[in-house]
Amino acid sequence: MEDVLEPEKKRTRGLGTVTKFAISHHRAPVGTTVPQTQGQAAAPKVPKKTGPRCSTAVASVLKNQKAAPAAPAQKPGTTAAPPKLGGKKPSKRPGWDLKGQLSDLNAELKCYRERTQTLDQENQQLRDQLREAQQQATALGAERRTLEGELARVRAQAEQGQQELGNLSARVLELEERLGTQEGLVQELQKEQLGLQAERRELTTRLEEQERRLQTSEAALSGSQAEVASLRQEAAAQATLLAERGERLHGLEMERRRLHNQLQELKGNIRVFCRVRPVLPGEPTPPPGFLLFPSGPAGPSDPPTHVSVLRCDERRGTLSGAPAPPTRHDFSFDRVFPPGSGQDEVFEEIAMLVQSALDGYPVCIFAYGQTGSGKTFTMEGGPAGDPQAEGLIPRALRHLFSIAQELSGQGWTYSFVASYVEIYNETVRDLLATGTRKGQGGECEIRRAGPGSEELTVTNARYVPVSCEKEVETLLLLARQNRAVARTAQNERSSRSHSVFQLQISGEHAGRGVQCAAPLNLVDLAGSERLDPGLALGPGERERLRETQAINSSLSTLGLVIMALSNKESHVPYRNSKLTYLLQNSLGGSAKMLMFVNISPLEENVSESLNSLRFASKVNQCVIGTAQANRK
Ligand code: ADP
Ligand code: MG
């Protein structure tokens, strides 16, 4: 019994080893779980010993069963090794105990069978375990893949997170920078806010002050409003009154013009003033009583209107041979200015006449007399820069400008255009020429301003608008320069020509639609002296004679025109000279005329003085019909 049980014990003890063997023996291909490496040589040793032993034992039993009779002498020591399961047991049975041996073999077989069964069970278990393990492996593989996928996803997320982190860091930096800027700005704004707060406080204080003042003002205003209302009423009343007064003023102005004109007419539309210049330094003093200025009917306070010339004629003698007594020649004019009379005094007398031009009456003022008698002095004045010596032209213009200024307050607007020409030997020359034309006196012609127009104009002459004294001064200076350029050694051309200063005056009262226009002419005539016909005539004198004849002719034409106008003749010989042709619109019916007869105080000029006085007396006797204002 002990021997039978021994293999069981061994089997139980070596189950693990046997199990390993069984697996390796039957399931060699499952090398993955039980590798057949040299290192595991210990495991296979058991089956090698056990396996062959079982089979050998069986074989030997079978062999023994068949060959036993043939080899009964075989030594126990030389027989095949008995199976180790039984230990040394088989060797203990005597050879003849076949039954025992058979039972041993049966027992061993039974043991093997059991073992096989156990191994099969174990095998089945292992297979199940293997399947389970495989299933687990599959599951783990799947789990691994899932995890790998998740890992990849997590990695991707991590990368994205990293990138986002980078972006966020950049953004943080940017924001920090902006924060810095904003902080600076905030500080600035805070500073500004402080400033503004201070300003606000100040303004509040001021506002309060203003409000206080406003309240005071409002109180004053309400008081004033009542006052304003009453003042408005008053103003309205005043405006009505003003309009009425304006109306009346205009009526009065028109009445003044009418009366002024009437006065001028009473004084005569053609007037003659005699002016005797003083004896100049270096000139011989005339004998006492040579020129006398008898007082007027009202005594010495009356302005003189008479002049007497005492003439001693040496050629006339008495029968006794004694020199004939001087002949007294008396002349009477509208006014006589003795040598001491100033320019202002003379102008005062013509100021009213000049003003007639503003009222729309053409005015013509002449200076007649021999060369050196004071014509230019009277018209233009003495040396420049001496205001006392200022002549009629600058004085008349200044007067007109100031009256026009006064009349502008009544709604009148005036404009003035000046021209200044010279008529020499029946040719017209512009005294206001400038540039290359200066002193050349390019061809100027007197023409009608337009077809059917009565107005005359000088072609190629400058017509300069003037509005102040300074402009007039400039023009007079230019005229002087032009005359100086034309002066020749042979003769003083200016004294041999007529200088005509024309001022076109235009006035308008827009409110009443009234217009007026008239020329003011200030004419410095050529010297009226005649050549002594008894003198021997050289070539120069002959030329001079022709020139003088031209002058005399134009002067006598002027006289004839005045006579014809005075006698209301149907034909007035305006065309006989350039001078009368140019002045035709300023002479005659609708015009006012004044002639200065300038006289030299010297005895040597007595003959010419008498000629001038006689000519002027004739003019003085002329009465030209009632003047008509050029009004529309
Ligand atoms: P006209 O033009 O007639 O030839 P001017 O006017 O040239 O004569 O006068 C000749 C000179 O007499 C000039 O030197 C001028 O200054 C002087 N003269 C003329 N009239 C007066 C006057 N009223 N008072 C002072 N000097 C005068
Ligand atoms: Mg002169």
Domains annotated on the chain, with CATH: 269-621 (3.40.850.10)
Count CB neighbours of 51 within 10 A.
Answer: 14
Residue 154 · residue 146 · CB < 8 Å: no
Compute the average pLDDT of residues 190-217: 92
Phi-psi region of 418 (alpha: psi -120 to 50; beta: other; left: phi over 0): beta
Ligand 1 contact via 376 beta carbon (within 6 Å): yes
Nearest to 328 by CA among 291, 365, 300: 291
For residue 74, which phi and psi values (nearest 5 degrees)?
-60, 125
Question: What confidence score (pLDDT) does residue 403 get?
Answer: 94
Query: What integer pLDDT is reported at residue 631 of this predicted model?
Result: 56
Ligand 1 contacts CB of residue 586 (under 6 A): no
In whole angstroms, give the CA distance from residue 597 to residue 367. Answer: 6
CA distance 629 to 357: 9
374 Cβ inside 6 Å of ligand 1: yes
Task: Give me the residue label for tokens 């010279």.
Answer: 422
* First-to-final CA distance of the chain: 181
The residue type found at 63 is K
Residue nearest to atom 11 of ligand 1 (CA): 372
Q: Identify which of 273, 274, 275, 277 to mutate to test ligand 1's pocket (most ligand atoms within 8 A of the CB).
A: 277
Are 590 and 628 within 8 A, CB to CB? yes
pLDDT on residue 404: 94
**pLDDT reading at 535 higher than 70:** no
Q: What percent of the chain has pLDDT over 70?
A: 77
> At residue 306, what are phi and psi to the nearest 5 degrees?
-120, 150
Q: 483 CA to middle of ligand 1, Å?
A: 17
Question: Which residues surround the ion ligand 2 when the cut-off is CB under 5 Å?
Answer: 375-376
- Known binding residue 372? Answer is yes
Tokens of 533: 């016909």
Residue 595 has pLDDT above 70, yes or no: yes
Residues 34, 20 contacting (CB under 8 angstroms): yes
71-114 pLDDT, tens digit per residue, is 444 444 444 444 444 444 556 777 888 888 888 888 888 888 88
Q: pLDDT category, 53, cuts 50, 70, 90?
A: very low
Which tens digits make up the pLDDT trace of 504-518? 999 999 888 889 999
DSSP code for 444: B
Give dist(CA 499, CA 524) in Å, integer.
Answer: 5
* CA distance linking residue 310 with residue 288, whole number of Å: 10
In this predicted structure, the answer to whether residue 48 has a pLDDT above a threshold of 70 is no
Report whether 540 contacts 560 (CB < 8 A). no
How many angstroms does the Cα of residue 78 sit away from the middle of ligand 1?
Answer: 198
- Whether residue 26 has pLDDT greater than 70: no
Tell me the mean pLDDT in the region 259-273: 76
Distance 517 CA to ligand 2 centre (A): 29
Residue 498 Cα to ligand 2 middle (Å): 9
Q: Looking at residue 71, what is its pLDDT?
A: 41
> Can you tell me which residue has the tokens 């072609």?
459
The residue contributing the CA closest to ligand 1 atom 16 is 382
Q: Distance from the CA of 388 to the center of ligand 1, in angstroms?
A: 14
Q: How much is the average pLDDT of 273-279?
A: 97
Q: What phi, psi does 14 have (nearest 5°)?
A: -95, 25
Lookup: tokens for 618 = 């004739």
Task: Tell me if 261 CB under 6 Å of ligand 1.
Answer: no
Q: Are 421 and 428 in contact (CB under 8 A)?
A: yes
Tell me how far apart the alpha carbons of residues 87 and 8 are, in angstroms, rounded to a whole number: 11
Ligand 1 neighbour 278 (Cβ under 6 A): yes
Provide the H-helix boundaries in 268-283. none
Give 107-166 pLDDT, tens digit per residue. 888 888 888 888 888 888 888 888 888 888 888 888 888 899 999 989 999 999 999 999
Residue owning the nearest CA to atom 5 of ligand 1: 374
Check the CA dihedral 148-153-155-158 and report its sign.
negative
Contact 433, 462 (CB under 8 A): yes
CA-to-CA separations, 77 to 50, 62, 91, 510, in angstroms, rounded: 19, 19, 9, 176
Write the pLDDT tens digit of every residue in 30-46.
433 444 434 343 334 44
Asked if pLDDT for residue 438 goes beyond 90, the answer is no
Average of pLDDT values for 448-465?
88
Indicate whether residue 442 lines ligand 1 (CB < 6 A). Answer: no
Let me know how long the chain is.
Answer: 632
User: Annotation-wise, does 374 bind a ligand?
Assistant: yes
Residue 54's pLDDT is 45
Q: What is the pLDDT of residue 398?
A: 95
- Specify the residue for token string 């069963």: 65
Buried b (16+ CB within 10 A) or exposed e, 411-442: bbebebebbbbbbbeeebbbbbbeeeebeebe
Confidence of residue 623 (pLDDT cuts 50, 70, 90): low
Most confident region among 9-23, 86-100, 302-316, 488-502 by mean pLDDT: 302-316
Percent of residues, the chain, with pLDDT higher than 90: 42
pLDDT digits (tens, 9 = 90+) for 519-528: 999 999 999 8
Residue 58 host element (H or E):
helix 42-67
Closest ligand to the CA of 369: 1
Which residue has the least CA distance to atom 19 on ligand 1? 374
Ligand 1 in contact with 596 (CB < 6 A)?
A: no
The residue whose CA is least distant from atom 9 of ligand 1 is 374
pLDDT in tens, 350-368: 998 999 899 899 999 999 9
Of 377, 476, 499, 551, which is best to mutate to test ligand 1, by the most ligand atoms within 8 angstroms of its C-beta?
A: 377
| DSSP-derived 3-state class of residue 551 | helix
Predicted pLDDT of residue 629: 58
Q: Give the pLDDT confidence score for residue 512 in this predicted structure.
A: 86
Which region holds residue 447: left if phi is over 0, alpha if psi is between -120 and 50, else beta?
beta
Phi, psi of 88 (to 5 degrees): -90, 10
Convert the pLDDT of each residue in 377-414 to its tens digit.
999 998 878 899 999 999 999 999 999 999 998 899 99
370 is in an annotated binding site: yes
Average pLDDT, the chain: 80
Report the candidate in 526, 523, 215 with the shortest Cα–Cα distance to residue 391.
523
- Which helix (H) or strand (E) element contains residue 240? helix 98-267
Write out pLDDT tens, residues 299-354: 788 889 999 999 886 655 556 666 677 889 999 999 999 999 999 999 999 998 99
Q: Identify the residue whose C-alpha is closest to ligand 1 atom 12.
A: 374
Q: Determine the Cα–Cα distance for residues 265 and 261; give it in Å rounded to an integer.
A: 6
Is 499 known as a binding-site position?
A: no
pLDDT range class, residue 487, cuts 50, 70, 90: low
The minimum-distance atom of ligand 1 relative to the CA of 382 is 16
Is position 375 annotated in a ligand binding site? yes
Cβ 87 under 6 angstroms from ligand 1: no
Task: Please give the number of the atom of ligand 1 that sits closest to the Cα of 377.
Answer: 6
pLDDT in tens, 443-454: 788 988 888 888
The set of residues, in sequence order, having a beta carbon less than 8 Å from that of 493 and lying 6+ positions away, is 424, 483, 486, 487
User: According to the model, what pLDDT value does residue 11 have?
Assistant: 43
* 278 pLDDT above the threshold of 60: yes
Q: Which atom of ligand 1 is nearest to the CA of 367?
A: 3
Evaluate: CB of 495 within 6 angstroms of ligand 1.
yes
Taking the CA of residue 375 as reference, the ligand 1 atom at the shortest distance is 3
pLDDT of residue 18: 40
Report pLDDT for 485.
64
**369 C-beta closer than 6 A to ligand 1:** yes
Residue 223 annotated as part of some ligand binding site: no
CB of residue 371 inside a 6 A radius of ligand 1: yes
What pLDDT shows up at residue 531?
67
Q: Position 428: which residue type? A: V
Per-residue confidence band for 630, with pLDDT thresholds at 50, 70 and 90: low
Binned at pLDDT 50, 70 and 90, residue 418 comes out as very high
Q: What is the pLDDT of residue 255?
A: 79
Name residue, tokens 């006035």: 507
Residue 375 in contact with ligand 1 by CB distance below 6 A = yes
pLDDT-derived band of residue 434, with 50, 70 and 90 as boundaries? confident
